Amino acid sequence: MKKLTLVLFVTLIATACSKKEESVVPVATTVKPKVVEPVKIGDIYSFTLVPELYLHHKQFRDIAVEEINAAGGVLGRPIKVIGRDDQGEPGAAIRAAEDLVLREKVEFLSGTLISHVTLAVSEYADRNKILFMNAWATSPTISYEQGRPFTFSMAVNTNAETAIVASEVAKGKAQRWSTVAFNLDDGKAAVKY
């Protein structure tokens, strides 16, 4: 029985490997290109509050997107940035974030300029488990006082900035000095520190 099994096995392999001339009929096939969805980033910024700053922000952002996409994108996916105006108001920023996440289906939020607006978007990002990169706001509450796991900052916080300025002022001969700051979270933190 073992001999018969071996003979059958060798015969099958020999048959499978033998060159057999057959007529080949070409078949037209259509290869559908793989659709690569872009990485959508929602950019929330105070367009109407500070249009001149936004212009520079948008120019640099667009250059970065162009360079990243020319180099193959992120993990082979192009980047698409969709901007929304927060009007310098927390409520408008939350509406912008909701629109970007729910309607535009962005995978990531970025931007904001003013700390109280950034805090609102940071809270939204936490509740909805979407990453948020704070680009500008410097309030220490944003990144470490409230421990927001879905928010990270590119900006140095006010406490660090104030420590640097204070150490430089201390080297001088001035007996008295004063602080001028915005009446917002980051300005108050600078004066308090």
Nearest residue to 37 (alpha-carbon basis) of 74, 83, 85: 74
Does the model's pTM come out above 0.75? no
CA dihedral angle for residue 90, residue 93, residue 99, residue 101, rounded to 10 degrees: -100
CATH number (2.40.10.10, 3.30.420.40, 3.40.640.10, 3.40.50.2300) of 39-156 reads 3.40.50.2300
- Give residue-wise pLDDT tens across range 59-93: 999 999 999 999 999 999 999 999 999 999 999 99
Output the pLDDT for position 17: 37
Average pLDDT across the chain, whole number:
81
Separation in Å, CA 77 to CA 10, 36, 53, 117:
49, 6, 29, 30
Output the pLDDT for position 76: 94
Output the pLDDT for position 63: 97
- Give residue-wise pLDDT tens across range 10-19: 333 333 334 4
Output the pLDDT for position 79: 96
Confidence of residue 24 (pLDDT cuts 50, 70, 90): low
Confidence of residue 40 (pLDDT cuts 50, 70, 90): very high
- Give residue-wise pLDDT tens across range 114-126: 888 989 999 999 9
For the chain, domain boundaries: 39-156, 160-192
Query: Which residue type occupies 23?
Result: S
Strand partners, 151: 132
Output the pLDDT for position 34: 80
